[in-house]
Chain A
Amino acid sequence: MARNIGRFLVLIAAALIYSSALASSIFQPISDSHRSAALELFNPLGGSFSSVEKTYEELRTFEVLGIDKRSDISTAACQSVSEILGSSSSTLKDLFYALKVNGILQCGIKEDVFEGVASRLQSVVGGASALLDFYYSVGGLVLIKGQTSKDDLYLSDAEGVFRSIKALSQSDGRWRYNSNNPESSTFAAGLALEALAGIVSLSSSEIDQSLISTTKNDILKLFDSIEKYDDGAFYFDEKLVGAREHQGALSTTSSVVRGLTAFAAVTSGSLNLPSGKILGLAKFFLGIGIPGDAKDLFNQVDSLAFLESNTVSIPLILSLPATVLSLTKKDALKVKVNTVLGSNAPPLTVNLLQVLRSGSKDTSLIESQELKFDPEIAVYTLDAMPKSVDVGKYTFVFEMVLHDSDHKNLYATGGRIRIPIFVTGVIEVDSAEIAVLDSDLGSIETKKKIDLAGENTVSLSANHLQKLRLSFQLSTPLGHAFKPHQAILKLTHETKVEHMFVMGSSGKQFEIILDFLGQVEKFFYLSGRYNVQLAVGDAVMENSFLKAIGHVDLDLPAPPEKAPQPPAQPLDPNLIYGPKAEIAHIFRAPEKLPPKKLSLTFSGLTLLPFLGFLVGLLRLGVNLKNFPSSSVPAVFATLFHLGIAAVLSLYMLFWLKLDLFTTLKALSFLGAFLMFVGHRILSHLASSSSKLKSA
């Protein structure tokens, strides 16, 4: 656990340094963005808060930030305040915060209510042993004293109470919450100091000076445990293991600040605290930026408000609206000095002591000079950049000098303030040209001038025995050589395989010679068209560019067997995710049949023989005189021919709709019938003809 907390601290440090140090460790005082954030964060549901503590936090934050929102919640808040103060069962904590809310809203609570509360608190103070009880009751009494006309509100045994709180203190300056609990806490130290300050102000007689001075000693010890970030911010953190509720660095620091400022306000004499630490605490609160949590915002704003008006030393914050200054646009260096809450500083002079080139710790580029103050906008300006300052990264060293010598003890200015500054400008690009050289002789085969300010479409061709040379010159506005961070030549093959080369320089001249013979392997033996791009950029170069120069057609030898393969390129997502092409099934073509007309014509033709047959019969003079004349054979003859007709019609039906089985079934009956009647008629005909013959 201890290890975890240790790591936790390091991580907080890392996170804060990361977020603020990268913003070049400039601390901006409280601004309008805090106000809008406060309005956003304290946006209670329907104007009522869950607790009177939250109400106080909102009112206090708005009060410090100068936002007038009191009327929105005062009715509801005052109602709950008078309820809490009027009730005898409300907790100490609620009483304390209700009194605080009343202090801001002036709810018009009646004197007798105050008296009741005061007597209750007095009795609590007398019998208390836990730190929180002391804190809330003493704090409550101080608030009542401030809110009523009663001047005779005194603690009867102030010194005794003072001693019993003091008894909870530890040798390292921290406090315990109560005598049974051996764990000490920095957060509690803040509460204890605030309570002690309250006792001093409530005391009817002078508190023993030795008690005051040991408490001051405790404060100094407490400040020995202060922790520090690299950017000069100081903070307190709870080392307590297994605390009832874990207090973060912000609430711990803010508790200590409240206690410290309250105690310093009621005691005379100096605390001997280094002003740098107070400034560091202010930097810690400002370095948080805009918290996204209502409690954090309250802690930040409340602590800053206490620091703004404390009697130890009032931190002054030097800030720059811009740390990126353009040499081309002739930006003036502007410096603001404010208190932490953004109000104007007392009369002072800001001196620019040194200008150092970043990376080199050598001598300053300028003499110390004073910045001009414009009282209307409260900004210190440096009229013209020093002549010797070219584009680049610099560290400017400032110093604040207070005009009034009395102020020197009152304000914390932080001595020398180092601020990194980027001076930017337009870099001149000159004499750019691209050429293809013959390898062994170095003679120029083709050479083209390019204009890196405009568009270029150079078209070159080269083989693996040749070289490509690209050169250009860069110079700063003051005519010095300039080395940008990014000077990269990029060759891109049609297959999107990229090759990059860092351009080297000597003085102003940048040149790169690509010997293709040595590069064939790196180029994966890929012949073809390569697009040439040049990227030149730097943080201080205002005209950083990425220019397409044109293309080179490279003719490289065929790859040997074990040549490395070019790396795979990511697939275009549209290829993976797009809809597929539709597929329609191609049906087998139906068999070729003769046209309908032809078939019908031939069907007609098949009738012709039948017609011929009929005509032939008529011509022959067919008669049916042999048809039996007697009735029985005539019936059989008729049935026989009907039977034949039925069989033939069955064949017709078979073709039209019947299947083979039905047809055969019907045919078997018809056949038997036909055989029977056929036999009778044929035997009749046979017998009649034999009779005729024999006759």
Chain B
Amino acid sequence: MSPPHRVNPQPLSLSPRQPKHPATTKMARSNFSVLTILSVILLLPVLSLSFSPDSPSDRRLLVLFDDLSLKSSHSIFFNSLKSRGFDLDFKLADDPKLALQRYGQYLYDGLILFSPSIERFGGALDLAAVLDFVDSGHDLIIAADSSASDLIKSVATECGVDFDEDPSALVIDHRSYAVVGTEGDHTLIAADDFIESDVLLGENKIEAPVLFKGIAHSLNAANNLVLKVLSASPAAYSANPSSKLSSPPSLTGSSISLVSVVQARNNARIMITGSLDLFSNRFFRSSVQKAGSPKKYDKSGNEQFVAELSKWVFHERGHLKAVNLRHNKAGETNEPAMYRIKDDLDFSVEIYEWSGKSWEPYVANDVQVQFYMMSPYVLKTLSNDKKGLYHTSFKVPDVYGVFQFKVEYNRLGYTSLLLSKQIPVRPFKHNEYERFITAAFPYYGASFTMMAGFFIFSFVYLYHK
């Protein structure tokens, strides 16, 4: 199945029409041909760069800054995106020409908000436009820092993440800070409490801790789409490091999330973090040693962490599609229009994962199919052949009605698969019941001996003398 938002932009209807009056034909034709050529020239780059259901990765990203020097100070991150084939558009967040869509078409597939202190976006961009962008299935990265504005905080709140309301609070951790000779206030955190998920963070384990310096956020308990990817250690707390703590900090311990992700129901993906420096060249290149640990890493885990997570956010990983949902009676190949109760059936579906370049077979042992009518009658785990084909076989329940084959696959980090196919199930026909029941043999025996007796008796009765 292809996600719903990846739609090919339709070419604008600028195709030439037949002019009605011969007198205007020549003029009109030349005008139209110019229009056509123009439209083709204008649309060519759009069409060639646009996403399609067949390649769900993002291509065009808009990066918004508070100040353009970030382009240089965070260049490793941007260069890694460029080398992965993304088309980055850098703009100041208060650029008066900002727009995410034109003529109803989105100009970008993803938005990176590296503008923590912006109070009002320029141009046509505002909170509602950002949320619409996500609602239409596009991806978003939000990085805040201690200067985070209400606007950025409210974007995050809409995504299910609440930043600490105290504007001067930073994440402080006196137990797992990064040991640096010139950083004494323990706000530079060496975090290594990652979520256990290969799809989010890649197959290679991130060995070195990730450097974090910024503000804390917590997850909205009512939102079960948001996940903590990097959590703070139990000893961390969110407070102003330079003022005395008079009341208990609002966020403490592992409930502080340093980096969170959201996968919306339309498979739009969002990454939220309270540290813009997490992406900076300085942190990427910095060596790291966690307090209390003798091991010193030459390079922090930031580069790997950010690269892997951005692969996920921009749909280079964890994007599934399911095709060729098939079912048939055991021993047959054609799909029947209807099953009879107690039929044996084979069910198969193919699932592929997008690797950023091609669709690769998806291998997992927890894909399940439901045979469903109001509630699942059969729920079975599918076995796979490591080439993307999942299949199983089971007996149709002895309940008739309109059933559905349902594949509901919701796994952490993967796009959710929801497939269903309707199929009616009928009871036995009158002649499909068992015909020779042994228990009835005495009755049959009696009848037939009776008949034989009658036959013999007819001779005796008629011809006896």
Contacts and interface: CB of A to CB of B under 8 A. Distances in A.
Interface of A: 4, 7-8, 11-12, 14-16, 18-19, 22-24, 26, 33, 37, 248-250, 288-293, 296, 320-324, 393, 420-422, 424, 483, 485-488, 490, 498, 500-502, 535, 537-541, 544-546, 567-571, 573-574, 576-585, 587-588, 593-594, 596, 599-600, 602-607, 609-610, 613-614, 617, 622-627, 637, 641, 644-645, 648, 651-652, 655, 659, 681, 685
A422 B184 contact: yes
6 contacts: A18-B146, A23-B182, A486-B172, A498-B252, A641-B458, A644-B454
A486 B245 contact: yes
Interface string B66-83: 111111111110010000
B184 A18 contact: no
Given A500-B248, A500-B249, A626-B463, 4 more contacts: A37-B285, A422-B185, A625-B464, A626-B462
Given A571-B224, A659-B431, A648 B455 contact: yes
Contacts of B377: 583, 585
B183 A544 contact: no
Interface string B429-465: 0010000011111101111111111111111101111
B304 to A, nearest CB: 17
Contact of A8 (B74, B92, B370, B412): B92
B412 A623 contact: no
A19 B237 CA distance: 22
Closest 10 CB pairs of A and B: A292-B75, A537-B174, A422-B184, A322-B181, A544-B174, A500-B248, A606-B445, A610-B449, A583-B379, A585-B397
A484 B120 CA distance: 39
B227 interface: yes
A294 B412 CA distance: 40
A290 B285 contact: yes
A608 to B, nearest CB: 9
A11 B235 contact: no
Contacts of B378: 583-585
A609 B70 CA distance: 107
Given A544-B235, A617-B456, A655-B444, A12 B67 contact: yes
A546 B235 contact: yes
Interface in B376-395: 376-381, 395
Interface in B143-193: 145-147, 172, 174-175, 180-187
A604 to B, nearest CB: 8
B224 A602 contact: no
Interface string B269-295: 000000001001110010000000000
Given A488-B252, A599-B442, A546 B234 contact: yes
Given A15-B70, A292-B73, A644-B458, A596 B285 contact: no
Contacts of A26: 182
A292 B219 contact: no
Contacts of A659: 431
B342 A324 contact: no
A627 B235 contact: no
Nearest to A571: B224
Contact of B252 (A37, A322, A490): A490
Given A587-B398, A599-B441, A539 B241 contact: yes
A248 B68 CA distance: 8
Nearest to B409: A579
A643 B465 CA distance: 23
Contacts of B371: 585
Contacts of A570: 219, 221, 224
A574 B213 CA distance: 29
B93 to A, nearest CB: 9
Contacts of A652: 448
Nearest to A533: B234
A24 to B, nearest CB: 6
B246 interface: yes
A37 B281 CA distance: 10
Contact of A607 (B285, B395, B449, B455): B449
A685 B462 CA distance: 8
Contacts of B280: 19
A627 B463 contact: yes
B366 interface: yes
B412 A502 contact: no
A664 to B, nearest CB: 16
A16 B68 CA distance: 12
Contacts of B222: 568
A610 B181 CA distance: 112
A623 B463 CA distance: 7
Contact of A622 (B70, B227, B464): B464
Most chain A CB inside 10 Å of its own CB: which residue of B380, B462, B465: B462
Given A12-B69, A14-B147, A292-B72, A537 B175 contact: yes
Contacts of A12: 67, 69
B17 interface: no
B411 interface: yes
A275 B181 CA distance: 29
A573 B227 contact: yes
Contacts of B94: 4, 7
B185 A576 contact: no
Given A23-B182, A324-B183, A603 B282 contact: no
Contacts of B464: 622-626
Nearest to B122: A4
Contacts of B208: none
Given A585-B377, A606-B442, A580 B462 contact: no
A606 B440 CA distance: 12
Interface string B224-242: 1001000000110101010
Most chain A CB inside 10 Å of its own CB: which residue of B69, B219, B412, B451: B69
A518 to B, nearest CB: 16
Contacts of A16: 69
Contact of A648 (B70, B227, B451): B451
B182 A15 contact: no
A602 B441 CA distance: 8
B439 A593 contact: yes
A252 to B, nearest CB: 13
A350 B277 CA distance: 34
B438 A15 contact: no
A486 B248 CA distance: 9
B247 interface: yes
Contacts of A540: 184
B355 interface: no
B25 interface: no
A19 B282 contact: yes
Nearest to B182: A323
B232 to A, nearest CB: 12
Contacts of B68: 8, 248
A539 B185 contact: yes
A644 B455 contact: yes
